[in-house]
Amino acid sequence: MRKFNLLINGEMKSSSNGKWFDAVNPSTGETFAQIADASIDDVKLAIQSARKQFDSGEWSGLTVQARGLFLKKIAQVIRENASELALLECQNVGKTIKHTTFIDVPTSADTFDYFANINEELASKEIFIPAPVKSLLEREPIGVIAAVIPWNYPLIMTAWKMAPALIAGNTVVFKPSSKACAAVMRLAELINTVGLPAGVVNIVPSSDHKASSELVKSNLVDKISFTGGTETGRQVMQMASESIKRMTLELGGKSPNIVFADCDLDAAIGGTMSAIFMNQGQMCTAGSRLLLDEKIYDAFMAKLVEKTKALKIGNAEDYTMDFGPLVNKEHRDRVLQFIQQGEKEGAKVLCGGKIPEVAELVNGAYLEPTILVDVKNNMFVAQEESFGPVLSVIRFSSEEEVVKIANDTKYGLAASVWTKDGEKAKRVARQIKCGTVWINTYGGFYNEAPFGGYKQSGFGRELGLDGLYEYTQTKHICIDQTPGGKPLVSGWF
């Protein structure tokens, strides 16, 4: 049985209490590895090592270019071990091997590369002020960053948080989810080979909520970067308020996928399926509300159901499969309850909604891709996040109506708009209250462009310069240049 240790202060070590948790393959139900389960003492040690390293100035004192060289090395070891990392991500999360091979692994490497090339963006800048002073804007690292991620995109979110934090000069204590982090712990081993100073990166998965809370409450931590559920995000905010920590929160979503009658029908159907069925719907940006123009409702739904029923469901390691298992059986059962609640409210299951009755899938956490119709936007299934492959279809008859439906949610993370009318697309996009709107596409994330939410989907941004500056604090240095060196203030009294 393969075992993965914690990364603390430049050493791979087992947990202080000797505990491990299992890494289970949701395709088969089999345990394929064990991961050291960090205790609260381990987390405290990781925080202390990050604090000591930051306060020493060793890492933050390097030039941006010098720090970038380490990020390039991390990108390189990711690419050199791409097949292994892709397999671990597939085995632990359940997303298909073609997904982890062509999306997760290269994306994580590219993100480290992108931030490795940051330079002038962090340089001192002079601010013009109409007064006899020279004003400089300095961007400085915040200090110790506690980064917490969920289980659905471990490798990508590791890169999204770690790369900008490191290039800005911070040190990091990173906590991946105990539900799925095997690939991250292999990455921890690889990161530990690139020569980073001890304490710059610490990675401590834990199943102990008290250990996780220590990251948020510790006075030695300067900022929390959290991705996860909205309810947990509220708890994190409350705990962080005790020490007034800086925060970035990327939380839940109930994203509208708006399809107008004048769309490219085939493109919109394919985009709709990607928006809800990639990673088995386990995405915060999942287009889980299909807002469909009633003029094309019947034709669109007929093709959508036909293509959905044709998806090949099976072991995620099989390249021929379109659709793998959910992360575990407990989560699958919660999604089933979500579907049942929708039926109680009057929604109808048009296809899917069941555990596949196939002998070779019985030990896995499989669920058929599901489409619900006759959904009203005030129903539970239209307002709450299932975090699974469940599409709620809602009809609309006008542009004004669909914008109102799209915004009638507590979330505001993402949306898609499908139409050949470019002006209408931009007009609708500007009215939707969310952080990202895709037009005639879905799910494009780019290192150059910021990503984050409105409303209860959180605040702060990942990626782009906005995401970089989330890990900096600004300082204004004001230098008097009054002729003779005697500004007005020196003679005030």
Does the active-site annotation cover 181?
no
Does the active-site annotation cover 250?
yes
Nearest alpha carbon to residue 318 among 29, 98, 33: 98
Whether the CB-CB separation of 93 and 180 falls below 8 Å is answered with: yes
- Specify the residue for token string 């105990």: 178
Nearest alpha carbon to residue 326 among 313, 311, 338: 313
Residues 6 or more apart whose CB falls under 8 angstroms from that of 66 comprise none
- As a whole number of angstroms, the distance between CA 319 and CA 83 comes to 13
> Which one from 90, 284, 351, 434 is the annotated catalytic residue?
284
Helix (H) or strand (E) holding 197: none
- Count, in order, helices (H) and strands (E) of the chain: 16, 23
> Which one from 250, 368, 384, 470 is the annotated catalytic residue?
250
- As a whole number of angstroms, the distance between CA 189 and CA 200 comes to 14
- SS3 of 116-164: the string is HCCCHHHCCEEECCCCCEEEEEEEEECCEEEEECCCCCHHHHHHHHHHH
Cα of 438 vs its chain's centroid, Å = 17
The Cα-based distances of 230 to 161, 458, 473 in angstroms read 18, 8, 26
Q: Is the dihedral of CA 184, 186, 192, 196 positive or negative?
A: negative
- As a whole number of angstroms, the distance between CA 118 and CA 128 comes to 24
Nearest alpha carbon to residue 330 among 87, 65, 151: 151
Nearest alpha carbon to residue 156 among 205, 98, 92, 109: 109
- Give the pair of three-digit tokens for residue 71: 């990020």
Amino acid at 491: G
Cα atoms found within 13 Å of the Cα of residue 192, Cβ hemisphere only: 19
Active-site amino acid positions: 250, 284
